[in-house]
Amino acid sequence: MNNISKVKLPMGEMNTTPLIDVMLVLLIMFIITIPPINHAVKIDLPSGPSIPNLRPDPVINKVVILPDSQILWNGEPVSLDQMTQFLEQTKTYAPQPELQFQPAPTARYDIVDFALARIKKSEISKFGFVGNEQYYQFDKADN
């Protein structure tokens, strides 16, 4: 009878180690496949060849954002609220003046984003980015 009492019975619990391994692999796969969150302001820019304007605009306004987050309207420092007021005033002109936008390469993204959002909200019809030629050699090695 002593030999019978030493017989081991199978365990009644489920081995969860493989299940945990599969769950961790699935979690890592989901984390890798989740797209990064991007914040963007969508602006419809003209595409295709531009048709030359036979009549020059009476005023061309230029908004520049400096590296120290200062906003310039035609060379004069302004706040976001002042820029919005100027944008509203330009909508009353006929024909509507062109608005040129030039952020500095090292300008803070959030200031540029706020300015673009205000410009889009003002529904300016003539808008363009200027100064993009400064990025022609962006991230290229010097020869």
pLDDT tens track for 60-90: 888 999 999 899 988 888 889 988 888 888 8
> Mean pLDDT over residues 103-128, rounded?
90
* DSSP secondary structure letter of residue 44: -
pLDDT of residue 26: 94
Q: List beta partners, residue 102.
A: 64
Q: Is the peptide bond before 103 cis (omega within 30 degrees of 0)?
A: no
| CB contact set of 19 (below 8 Å; sequence gap of 6+) | none
- Of all residues in the chain, the percent with pLDDT exceeding 70 is 76
Report how far apart, in Å, the C-alpha atoms of 52 and of each of 58, 59, 93, 100 are: 15, 17, 21, 17
The answer to whether 126 and 97 have CB atoms below 8 angstroms apart is yes
